Amino acid sequence: QETRILNAIKAYRDGQISSVRQAAISFKVPRSTLQDRINNVPTRKTAHEHQQRLTVKEEDSIAKSARLMASWGWPMTITAIRAFATNLLESKG
């Protein structure tokens, strides 16, 4: 969906589509989300990042590691993911 949102924003800003509503319909994304992105409203994921112990980048790193382990046939348990995150936090200080 993120790719569709970015494509809709590009089409709207490039003038290929004249209205936000039409861009939302064409790219099958929520109009309100598209309108917020065009108006530079932060996403929910980044809006409260300062209140979280892990950054979005760190969360993505953990998720990538979990997917990699699963692709090797060793899926991480919730306990293992929690331990991974705890080690990351401890290394940060």
Task: Please check whether residues 29 and 59 belong to one and the same domain.
Answer: no
Distance CA 49, CA 77 (A): 25
CATH number, domain containing residue 23: 1.10.10
pTM: 0.59
Under DSSP, is residue 91 helix (H, G, I), strand (E, B) or coil? helix
pLDDT of residue 12: 97
Domain count, the chain: 2
Tokens of 8: 């809709």
Q: Is the pLDDT of residue 5 over 80?
A: yes
**pLDDT tens-digit series, residues 18-46:** 999 999 999 999 999 999 999 999 988 78
Task: Please check whether residues 62 and 30 belong to one and the same domain.
Answer: no
**pLDDT tens-digit series, residues 62-89:** 999 999 999 999 999 999 999 999 999 9
Task: Please check whether residues 60 and 29 belong to one and the same domain.
Answer: no
Question: Domain containing 31: what range?
Answer: 2-41
Reported as a pLDDT band with limits 50, 70 and 90, residue 48 is confident
